[in-house]
Amino acid sequence: MPTEPLTDKVPVSVVVIAKNEEKRLASCLDTVAPWAGEIIVVDDMSRDRTVEVAMRYTRQVFQRKMDCEGSQRNFAYGLANQRWILSLDADEHVTPELAEEIRRVTTQSVSPYTCYAIPIKTFIGSEWIRGAGYYPAQKTRLFQKGRFRYEEAGVHPRAIYEGSCGYLKGDIMHYSCQNLEQWIEKFNRETTLEAQKWFQDGRRVGFWNILRKTADRFLKNYFLKKGWRTGFMGFFMSVFHGLYQLISYAKYREMKSTQKNTTRTAGSNHQPARGGRQ
């Protein structure tokens, strides 16, 4: 039996961070506007009509240059006025089934959980990526205001909260990229950010450890997470899960080499002064 659409507002601030998302933002907000108690959009200085689109749905539109993903999200969450926060990206949609679950858990007088993890259903083009750990791949997206934050890191920040996490069954639909070319471009950006995080943290990353992680990630996603059951895309995604570590390491190694060469060059430009007559 289909779930009836929600009409009453629920005590949830839907928070969306966006950049140059004029083509996708409206369809995202359409899935939450009928029931969300508040909608907040934080725009990363878009050059298109993202702000104009957002203003059709809410006056809570802010512009802030992103320094890193974690701090941008934390800034956005700090603007919320409702008891609960649902964190979305502009390429994500909330299904009616998930909206009904959110209404149910957020209108309880007392919640046993600080936050809830939600299954993410990822698409590349029209193809649903099911194997290799891509589904259900729950992510913590619904949480109580003031009790959840992200590590302030540029890529894949860790969730930080006290208390326990529950699990919802309804899906967030993630329309990630239009095609594999876009997906690989995104992969390239994220491995660069990962390498920068290792470099800036001063991590000591060894080749043999990275090689082990590369193989481990491929084997885990292809066999344990059943990438093999979904044909070519399961194999492809499993390979790239492993390559994420290896390519991040290659970029990190290049950054270390550039730093060493820069230091050596700077040192050679400062020759000791020679003695002479005054």
The domain of 234 spans: 180-264
Domain boundary at 177, 211, 235, which? 177
pLDDT number for residue 156: 82
3-state DSSP call for residue 15?
strand
Share of the chain above pLDDT 70, in %: 93
- Looking at the fold, whether 146 and 231 belong to one and the same domain comes out as no
CA 172 to chain centre: 13
Average pLDDT, the chain: 92
- Looking at the fold, whether 185 and 171 belong to one and the same domain comes out as no
- Looking at the fold, whether 130 and 242 belong to one and the same domain comes out as no
Q: Is residue 127 part of a domain?
A: yes
Asked if the bond preceding 136 is cis, omega within 30° of 0, the reply is yes
Determine the average pLDDT of the residues in 111-133.
95
pTM: 0.87
- Looking at the fold, whether 173 and 212 belong to one and the same domain comes out as no
Greatest C-alpha distance within the chain: 98
3-state DSSP call for residue 93?
strand
Determine the average pLDDT of the residues in 231-252.
96
- Looking at the fold, whether 197 and 169 belong to one and the same domain comes out as no
| Tokens found for residue 250 | 């290659």
Do strands 159-161 and 148-150 pair parallel, antiparallel, or not at all (unpaired)? antiparallel
Beta strand residue intervals within 29-119, DSSP E? 36-43, 61-63, 84-89, 92-94, 115-118
- Looking at the fold, whether 164 and 217 belong to one and the same domain comes out as no
3-state DSSP call for residue 132?
coil
Do strands 139-144 and 84-89 pair parallel, antiparallel, or not at all (unpaired)? antiparallel
- Looking at the fold, whether 93 and 120 belong to one and the same domain comes out as yes
Q: Give percent helix, percent strand, percent coil of the chain, each to the nearest 5.
A: 40, 20, 35
pLDDT number for residue 274: 55
- Looking at the fold, whether 137 and 69 belong to one and the same domain comes out as yes
At 67, the amino acid letter reads D
Tell whether the model's pLDDT for residue 68 goes beyond 50.
yes
DSSP string, 180-218: HHHHHHHHHHHHHHHHHHHHHHT----HHHHHHHHHHHH
Q: Is residue 269 part of a domain?
A: no
Domain boundary at 151, 177, 203, which? 177
Question: Could you read off the pLDDT of 8-53 as tens digits, one per residue?
Answer: 899 999 999 999 999 999 999 999 999 999 999 999 999 999 999 9
DSSP code for 70: H
Confidence of residue 278 (pLDDT cuts 50, 70, 90): very low
Confidence of residue 265 (pLDDT cuts 50, 70, 90): confident
Q: In whole angstroms, what is the distance from residue 253 CA to residue 204 CA?
A: 10
In terms of pLDDT, which residue wins out, 276 or 166? 166
Number of structural domains, the chain? Answer: 2
- Looking at the fold, whether 94 and 165 belong to one and the same domain comes out as yes
Question: Could you read off the pLDDT of 197-216 as tens digits, one per residue?
Answer: 999 999 999 999 999 999 99
> Other C-beta atoms within 10 Å of 164: how many?
9
What is the CATH classification number for the domain harbouring 91? Answer: 3.90.550.10
pLDDT number for residue 271: 58
pLDDT number for residue 78: 98
Report the phi/psi class of residue 72: left, alpha or beta, with left for phi > 0 and alpha for psi in -120 to 50.
alpha
pLDDT number for residue 263: 78
pLDDT number for residue 277: 46
Question: Could you read off the pLDDT of 85-98 as tens digits, one per residue?
Answer: 999 999 999 999 99
Question: Could you read off the pLDDT of 145-194 as tens digits, one per residue?
Answer: 999 999 988 778 899 999 999 999 999 999 999 999 999 999 999 999 99
Confidence of residue 276 (pLDDT cuts 50, 70, 90): very low
Total residue length of the chain: 278
Domain boundary at 177, 193, 225, which? 177
Which residues does residue 115 pair with via DSSP β-bridges, in sequence order? 143, 165
Tell whether the model's pLDDT for residue 272 goes beyond 60.
no
pLDDT number for residue 119: 98
Residue 107 is inside which H or E element, if any?
none
Are residues 50 and 20 in contact, defined by beta-carbon separation less than 8 angstroms? Answer: yes
